[in-house]
Structure 1
């Protein structure tokens, strides 16, 4: 899934109830801020290894949303 496809998926997905725990130590309190802070660097440099954890966290959030739908 490309970055633009993932952005489109999140744009059309139902917003989860906050907070969301992606792992026991990874809590998301602000959904909009989470998306922007992850997509901005991925748009700028999608192939950077430094940005790989951002994509992983977005995919975890996607799984959370899908599992609660």
Structure 2
């Protein structure tokens, strides 16, 4: 899945209400801010070891949403 496809996927689903935990160490207080702060660097720079964690968290969030549908 490409970054634009992933971004479109998030636009097409109902986002859960915050606050929520992505994992025991990651609390999302503002879902829209979380998405924008993760997609913004990924739009500007291809996947590198520096921004790989951003993609990993987005994919984990997608999995969390899918598991609750």
Structure 2 unmatched runs, 5+:
none
Deviation at 1:25, TM superposition (A): 0.9
* TM-score when normalising by structure 2: 0.94
1:30 lines up with 2:30 in the alignment: yes
Query: How far apart are 1:60 and its partner, in Å?
Result: 0.7
Q: Provide the alpha-carbon RMSD of the alignment.
A: 0.8
After the TM superposition, which parts of structure 1 deviate over 2 Å for at least 4 consecutive aligned residues?
none
Higher fraction of helix: 1
TM-score (norm 1): 0.94
Whole-Å Cα distance in 2 between the matches of residues 45 and 13 of structure 1? 25
Give distance in 2, aligned partners of 1:13 and 1:46.
25
